[in-house]
Structure 1
Amino acid sequence: MEIIVTKIAENELVKLQEIGRKTFAETFSENNTEECMAEYLEISFSTEKLTVELNDGNSEFYFAKLDNEVIGYLKLNKGSSQTEIKGENALEIERIYVTKDFHGKKVGQILYNKAIEIAKEKEVDYVWLGVWENNSRAIGFYKKNGFVEFDKHIFRFGNEDQTDIMMKLNLKN
């Protein structure tokens, strides 16, 4: 099973929409209302929003592919494109999502490794992210990779406020 990680081009926007909606729904549908889920998927993965994000020089997207099929993706932000902390020399992992069929098969780790490789190339001081407090699988994954909790923030999901745990990994000693 050879998984290839490739940078997403603008002409792959539809594939990004599909994998984004699919993986987000698979990950969070059972814990959220249909209305909140539908609204979030519509707004967050709209053609307009993704076009802007793909053309943002401070954001990068990568697909994980197996036999040319997209099975996961990664989104990174630097500078003013970071969602929360606008750390001068930081990199945000905004999204690492993998289709349910490939959970536990190291795809998330491959995407994560790509994120850390890019962070080191960019010589950032630390990598940070926000993860939903009820997503124990993701929290465990990041802790295993050396991330520590440092704060919390509210994530607006539809008409609900949810708490994200902020985690970071220092790359400079």
Structure 2
Amino acid sequence: MPLPASDAITFRLASADDALCLGVLSTQVFLDTYATQGIRPALANEVLQLHSVAAYEALLADPGVTILVAECDGHLIGFSQVRDGAGDPQVPAAAASELRRLYVQERFTGRGVGRDLLRQAEKAAAARGAEMLWLTAWEGNARALLFYPRCGYEHLGVTVYTIEGEDYPNRLFGKRVRHVAAAAAE
């Protein structure tokens, strides 16, 4: 069912003016996803270090990072963050970029926002020379573990994300994106 005009979702490249809203949205989605049993010091520190406004100001100033945002009626509802030239030993591509975050506010999940942000992130990575876009997804995030394979991502292996000495098992996924840029140019 199409969204009413007032609920139309638009996509654009993030600007420095988006740091405040990115920090708050990132914090909200991170906590909704990972703090399923409440807040502990390790998670609180992770939020303050990686999801702060200052962290997004630095990311937006980094030429090796691409952040795309989704908006609805002038409100930020989701974003993707890609790091250029980020390889991993389990990623079978010489030129790879990492999808560090794909966050969509809960109210807007299931409307294609994540899928559209992912497609645009793939095109952006390919346009900047990546052969493959890869990511890690926490094993406790059932929605992500189903979503990425539906979008053509292959399971490449397992890894661990550590927060203050606590290990969180993750799955590593990847997708060849070089063809995405070629198809978009046609």
Residue 94 of structure 1 aligns with which residue? Answer: 100
Count, aligned residues:
171
Contact 1:126 1:172 in 2 (8 A): yes
Per-residue CA deviations over 1:51-87 (Å, capped at 9, x if unaligned) read 22211111011111000111111101112xx385696
Instruction: Indicate yes or no: 2:138 matched with 1:128.
Output: no
The amino acid across from 2:115 in the alignment is Q
**Pick from 112, 121, 125: which aligns with 1:115?**
121
Give the TM-score normalised by the residue count of structure 2: 0.83
Give the TM-score normalised by the residue count of structure 1: 0.88
* CA deviation after TM superposition for structure 1 residue 122, in Å: 2.8
**Pick from 15, 21, 34: which aligns with 1:15?**
21
SS of residue matched to 1:155: strand
* CA deviation after TM superposition for structure 1 residue 159, in Å: 4.0
Alignment of 1:8-47 (within 5 A): 8-31=14-37, 33-47=39-53
Tell which structure's C-alpha radius of gyration is larger: 2
**Matched-pair identity in %:** 22
Residue 58 of structure 2 aligns with which residue? Answer: 52
* CA deviation after TM superposition for structure 1 residue 134, in Å: 1.6
The amino acid across from 1:58 in the alignment is G
Gaps of 5+ in 1: none
The amino acid across from 1:14 in the alignment is L
SS of residue matched to 1:30: coil
Give the Cα–Cα distance (whole angstroms) in 1 for the partners of residues 37 and 164 of structure 2.
13
Contact 2:80 2:117 in 1 (8 A): yes
SS of residue matched to 1:164: strand
Alignment of 1:54-69 (within 5 A): 54-69=60-75
SS of residue matched to 2:44: helix
Residue 164 of structure 1 aligns with which residue? Answer: 170
**Structure 2 CA distance for partners of 1:172 and 1:11, relative to 1, 3 Å:** closer
Contact 1:91 1:119 in 2 (8 A): yes
**Structure 2 CA distance for partners of 1:168 and 1:32, relative to 1, 3 Å:** farther
Contact 2:70 2:113 in 1 (8 A): yes
* CA deviation after TM superposition for structure 1 residue 132, in Å: 0.5
Displaced runs of 4+ in structure 1, greater than 3 A?
Answer: 83-88
Per-residue CA deviations over 1:4-46 (Å, capped at 9, x if unaligned) read 1111111221111111101111111214643232111111123
**Pick from 137, 141, 146: which aligns with 2:147?**
141
RMSD: 2.1
